[in-house]
Amino acid sequence: MEHSSNTLLTIVLLWVLTPFVLGDEVVPRQVLKPYCSHTCGNVSIPYPFGIEDGCYYFVDNNYDYKFVCNDTYTPPRLILGRNLEVLKVSLEGELTINNPVCYDCYHNSSQGQLLKTIFWSWVNLATFTISSTKNVLVAIGCDTNVWFTGFRHGRPYYTGCMTQCANLNDVADGACNGIGCCQIALPEGVSNITTNVSSFSNHRFVPFNPCSSAFPVEIETFKFYQRNLSQDLNYYRSNEIKLPVIFNWKVGRNSCSVAKAHRNYMCTENTDCYDSEYEVGYRCKCKDGYSGNPYLSQGCTDVDECKNNDTNDCEKPEYCFNINGGYNCHCPEGYHGNATMTDRCVSNRKAWFTPVLVTAGIGGGIIALLLTVFLLHWQHGKKEIKKMREKLFRENGGMLLHQKLSGQDDDILKFFTIEDLEKATDNYNNVNIIGRGGFGIVYKGTMPNNQVVAIKKSIKVDPKQAEQFVNEVLVLSKINNRNVVKLLGCCLEDEVPLLVYEFISNGTLYEHLHEAVCASILTWSMRLKIALDVADVLSYLHNTISPQIIHRDMKSMNIMLDESYTAKVTDFGASRLVPLDQGQLATMVLGTWGYLDPEYMQTSDLTEKSDVYSFGVVLVELLTRKKAISNDRSETEKCLAMHFLLKMKEGRLLDILDKNIVNDGTIEQIQQVANLAKGCLMLKGDDRPTMKEVSIELETIKSKGSHPWNNNDAQFEEDCQLLLGGNSGSGAGGCSSGIDSDLYNPHSPLGSGR
């Protein structure tokens, strides 16, 4: 009898424990321990999150779902990981944390010395990713840049923005547009995020702004105010400022289909499973007609819609009958109809007498009246829609664009309707997204004539910024070059402006250079042809078009490649038209770190030589396959332009070249292109060649080889000394470097290192 009891106990224990342990993997099932806490302070804690052991999802030693309730505060605070305060957790897959603001402050010591205090912030969560739709990256300051890093699809991800201002009167409350405040959107799927901020000139020229600050933040909770610029170090230290940031969470490491085949599948009865497009894992959701926690056994229970008249449309409460996952409305005996508010129950008894003619007359009159009301309402609605579209057309710069294009060929630009683009993109279906960035989303679309196009849908901007949008359209309308992505038309009737381009199917030069498989296809001759194509475009913009156009954001990300690897230059949003009587323009500095002309950054005077410098960086990318800015490299090598010039100066060019393109047949051409790149990267614009000279030199190198570019080495030595003495490393051009006094030896083939 005792043996029989032990056997029965063993069977019961195995039956209870089997759902929780499978091999070495802990399989979180749906029954929670009776001692599990469901709240901490004012925050609810739904499973798969929990505090006590056995109360949270735990697999592969992942503790990201384990919380700690810190009751030393009043009310207690819910803590995740390394002291991250959790503000809210939702079963819709969102986790809101309180993230500290990072800052970079400058102040004078009692001895008059300039002191610097830096505070960076990071969220070390590999499982969860920052939400791109609910957050935005912000930097505040008058000589400030923010650098945001993380991991996306297993690879490092970088982005940032910069802001400047010389006078408080230039700054407006609520306007985060690059003057005192800048903000950019973030992509999906970025985890392990770090935010740091720095100042260009230690706030020496903006005494009213002693600190730079930066942070990712929930969009709905942030508004910029002019007074933010005057906050000092004491303010940040004493207030311990934190702002809400929303992260996306999911469970598992596989898609729904793969997870369903294993016993550790988390979605329980009456649930649906959803794959995460940009992240690893999946999410569970109760089916329609059910509510509760989809990760718990019997967590999704039927909603009795008949108990609440707001959740059903039955004519009377007694006509409502609840069923699993929904409800039905039934008429009582002796009546017919659907028993709903729109189709009520009608008695089956017939009237003894029906005055047919009277009824028909009344019915006809009612129908005529209804038709009249409908037609009037329809016409009024059409007028309102037309009025709204005209208003949006004006706000998006339509009148300004018509004015600027007046007198030109009518076919130069097509104006599309909202319906045209909605139909082309299947109502902006996410499946058709082919690009996403800080200025908006790019969709693939198919027009009625089967022409495939790329549709750029900008983020919603201040109507005052419509001039920048019109500028891009105006610039592109003046360009007729086979190596420029062709602008087909635009739509200005929507809340945000849309541009329609020809579709380029082979991605960007940046993607081809920095993806190993794609890079192996780019031979030296293909890279040389791409360089020549881009040089021809810039020469065309600088010399052929009147007025002259300066691109201002030349980089490998803005060079598309078609099926035959022909280069197509794109993104003219930052470009400027230069009047005939001006050789340079005083502008707010725009561009991308690592590509910005250092002379332009210092003086704010934009010239065609600024494009030459940026093109020089692209040449170095083609030679080395290295990124223009990389935190993975040492401080002296962080900036690719300075790293390249240092190697050239030391006679060790071979150390930095992409080994895939170096062979006996390419050495001479590579050295000539490297010398040309060195000339483009001269600190002073006057010492650089023009783009027309660069194009001619590349054509000569490509066709039959040429003598190396005739650089002024003495001037190069002077530039290096100016860079070392005048600019300490931040971004483009002005990166610090330990260049020694030996000049690069042009007679030594590529150098072998020493």
- Asked if residue 105 lies in contact with residue 232, where contact means CB atoms within 8 angstroms, the answer is yes
Residue 541 falls in which region: left (phi positive, over 0), alpha (psi -120 to 50) or beta: alpha
Our CA angle for 604, 465, 158, nearest 5°, is 65
Q: What's the DSSP call for residue 20?
A: T
Amino acid at 624: T
Annotated active-site residue 104? The verdict is no
Contacts of range 403-409, beta carbons closer than 8 Å, 24 or more positions apart: 404/470, 404/474, 405/474, 405/477, 408/477
Q: How are the residues of the chain apportioned to helix, strand and coil, as percentages rounded to the nearest 5?
A: 35, 25, 40
Amino acid at 361: G
The torsion of the CA quartet 175, 177, 178, 182, rounded to 10 degrees, works out to: 80
- Asked if residue 276 lies in contact with residue 283, where contact means CB atoms within 8 angstroms, the answer is yes
The one catalytic residue in 104, 553, 571, 611 is: 553
Q: Which two tokens stand for residue 85?
A: 């305060």
Give the C-alpha distances (Å, rounded to integers) separating 140 from 63, 144, 162, 231, 438. Answer: 35, 7, 9, 10, 17
Q: What's the DSSP call for residue 66?
A: B
Angle between helices 524-539 and 667-680 (to 10 degrees): 30
Contacts of 36 (CB under 8 A, 6+ apart): 47, 50, 51, 52, 54, 55
Q: What's the CA gap between 614 and 681, in Å, rounded? A: 8
Q: What's the CA gap between 315 and 345, in Å, rounded? A: 8
* DSSP string covering 263-315: TT----TTEEEEE-SSSSSEEEEEPTTEEE-TTSTT-EEE--GGG-GGG--BS
Q: Which residues are catalytically annotated?
A: 553
